[in-house]
Structure 1
């Protein structure tokens, strides 16, 4: 049974996500549909890329990923289907594929050309659904599109290392449902530049000198619960995607606050790490 995932900025209130699922099942009953997320901020390609990047690799090879973010067909933005890392991605040629990975070259990429066979202006419902179902049936990309040499490139936000190699200047790239703040500084980069040196991480209201492997590592469970610093403790972790993330232990954005609200951090804000030899 083929697997089709959906990532959109449709939200949960409107009928769009449900309509897309219904259209897929109408085309192909023997398929499994998985929602990665429908809560991407409207037209936010960097946020969508972060979510998909940290989800798609957990699906089996051959999975088909429909991306309904900034997906309208325009004179400047066509629609593409790309085979990348053994997976299929169907989306607008708006640069999101370039944000997913810079290390893996697409195995195949086509410009979708079946728009004359669709009925509405709801791109994902018509064109993307038909393309996904065609691939799920075992169809080749060449049947629904023409080969293209290049796809649109977006550079995104990259960390900057100073010439003395004792400072990394990064940025906030994602804020999750808990209000945790994800930077674009990876553990790999941190280790390469830091080389085990002491450091201080600064990001507005955050001032941190230790990064944990998991949230609970920040809590000393040897201390009696009533006396230990627990809920509300500020911390940094290397998250499951390998990025440095700022968090408040057991935060709740709607009650006690979160890293985003308590540190005053938003998308693109600076996250600075300074290393010292002392």
Structure 2
């Protein structure tokens, strides 16, 4: 049974997400539709790219992923369908796919060209649903698009390494629901550059000299619970996606605060690692 996922910035208040799901089921009642997220910040391409990069690989091969972020078609924002890593992606060519394609080459890439058959301006409802259902039926990408060679890249998502290999300068690319701050510095990059050297992570007023394996590693469980210092405990770790994350133990942005609020960090802010 085909699976189609949805990742959008529609939110849950309006009719958009429901309308897209209804259109898919009208085309293919037997399909399974899965919501990855509809709470991407409006038009936030990097945030959407991080979410889809870390969600898609948990689905079976052959899954079709509709990504509805900044998808209105114009001369600088064409629509594409991509076959990559055994999955299909239907989205705008606005950089969303570049976080995945920097490490995995597309198997097939087309610019969608069925717009002359579409009568409204609701891209996800009309164009993307039609393309996704075409693929789900076993249709070829060449029928709905013309081959292209390149995907537009997001600028500023790659860390910078100093010429002396003594510093990695990265940026915040995502803030999660807990207020944890995710950077574009990967474990692999950290290990390749650091080579086991001691280091200090600097992020505005926060500093870290150790990277933990788990959130709870920051807590000394040998101390009686009533005497532990847990609230506001800051943590640096590589998260389950392999990115450097700065966090507060059991944070809550709406009550006790979070890494984002307490450290004063937001999207694109600088996070550096200095090696000794």
Q: Pick the TM interval, shorter chain.
A: over 0.9
Give SS of 1:226's match.
Answer: helix
Give SS of 1:235's match.
Answer: strand
Output the TM-score relative to the length of structure 2.
0.97
**What residue in structure 2 maps to residue 185 of structure 1?**
185
Give the Cα separation in 2 of the matches to 1:178 and 1:153: 28
**What residue in structure 1 maps to residue 225 of structure 2?**
225
**What residue in structure 2 maps to residue 32 of structure 1?**
32
**What residue in structure 2 maps to residue 8 of structure 1?**
8
The 5 Å alignment of 1:187-226 reads 187-226=187-226
The 5 Å alignment of 1:146-161 reads 146-161=146-161
> Does the CA-based 8 Å contact 1:99-1:155 persist in structure 2?
no
The 5 Å alignment of 1:40-59 reads 40-59=40-59
Deviates more, 1:20-29 or 1:107-116: 107-116
Shift of residue 145, structure 1, vs aligned partner: 1.4
Give the Cα separation in 2 of the matches to 1:151 and 1:201: 33
Output the TM-score relative to the length of structure 1.
0.96
Give SS of 2:126's match.
Answer: helix
**What residue in structure 1 maps to residue 21 of structure 2?**
21
Shift of residue 117, structure 1, vs aligned partner: 2.1
Gaps of 5+ in 1: none
Give the Cα separation in 1 of the matches to 2:33 and 2:98: 25
Shift of residue 164, structure 1, vs aligned partner: 1.9
Give the Cα separation in 2 of the matches to 1:249 and 1:178: 10
Structure 1 runs of 4+ aligned residues shifted over 4 Å read none
Deviates more, 1:179-188 or 1:108-117: 108-117
Shift of residue 187, structure 1, vs aligned partner: 0.7
Give the Cα separation in 2 of the matches to 1:183 and 1:93: 23
Gaps of 5+ in 2: none
> Does the CA-based 8 Å contact 2:43-2:70 persist in structure 1?
yes
**What residue in structure 2 maps to residue 258 of structure 1?**
258
Give the Cα separation in 1 of the matches to 2:272 and 2:21: 43
RMSD: 1.1
Give the Cα separation in 2 of the matches to 1:23 and 1:138: 18
